[in-house]
Amino acid sequence: MSSRILTILCLLLILPTHSFATQKPVRWIFEMHGGLFEPELSDWEQHYDSSRFPELGFSYGYRFFSVIDLGFSINYGKDKGRGILSSNSEATGEVNHQILPVELFAILRGKLMENQWLVPYIGVGYTRFAYRQDIVDQERIQGSANGQHMRFGVQLLLDTFDQRSAALMYQRWGVNNSYLYFDVKETTAEINDIPLGGRSYKVGLLFEL
């Protein structure tokens, strides 16, 4: 009995929903996202109040064959902490740490049919990871390094919950579908053997155009 209920629930999640309009094929995608970045450095909390800090960004890409996205992403994060002298471990003042990862990505979506409720995906890509540290009464430290990233997540089709708004967005702005998505990304980059990357946990909105 329980296995039958589970099968029905799985089918409901992937069954296509009603098409709201005669839509043109999806060619472009636009994303806005925000979440937390967790640096790879193990002693991050010794200098900052938390092991994670906020990160925001957007992505733009082109859709191939309805399941492959190629595009770029720009992200920005900032954290505040305390500078510490390595010689005597004394605090030296406030530190502003900023990151600016710029990415080229390829994503494969597990879309089996039109208007599928849940769409899982995986992605890989190139990352140019830039950072800057401003420490009170000290010289600014900044740099950048090449790296790579891997991500996975799931997209939830929002059109199903508000058909009227979905049709209106298509008529006014040409948005075919809107998704709420949850994403985990692992970024690897280092400079002078010091890791710059880390793990990101994000929530975002994706619009198919």
pLDDT confidence of residue 17 = 42
Provide the domain limits for residue 59: 2-208
DSSP state of 160: G
Q: Give dist(CA 74, CA 125) in Å, integer.
A: 13
> How many structural domains comprise the chain?
1
pLDDT confidence of residue 15 = 44
Sign of CA dihedral 159, 161, 163, 168: negative
CATH number, domain at 60?
2.40.160.20
55-69, 101-115, 166-180, 186-200: least confidently modelled range: 166-180
* Residue 152: pLDDT over 60: yes
Mean pLDDT for 102-110 is 98
Residue 13 pLDDT grade (very low, low, confident, very high; cuts 50, 70, 90): very low
Residue 23 pLDDT grade (very low, low, confident, very high; cuts 50, 70, 90): low
Give buried/exposed letters for 8-20 (b at 16+ CB in 10 A, else e): eeeeeeeeebeeb
pLDDT confidence of residue 139 = 81
Mean pLDDT for 61-75 is 96
C-alpha separations of 134 from 39, 140, 143 in Å:
18, 5, 12
* Residue 5: pLDDT over 50: no
Better-scored residue on pLDDT, 11 or 196: 196
Question: What percentage of the chain has pLDDT greater than the value 90?
Answer: 60
* Residue 87: pLDDT over 60: no
Better-scored residue on pLDDT, 119 or 92: 119
Mean pLDDT for 1-8 is 49
* Residue 16: pLDDT over 70: no
Burial class (CB in 10 A: 0-12, 13-18, 19+), 113: exposed
pLDDT confidence of residue 88 = 45
Write down the pTM of the prediction: 0.83
Mean pLDDT for 57-75 is 97
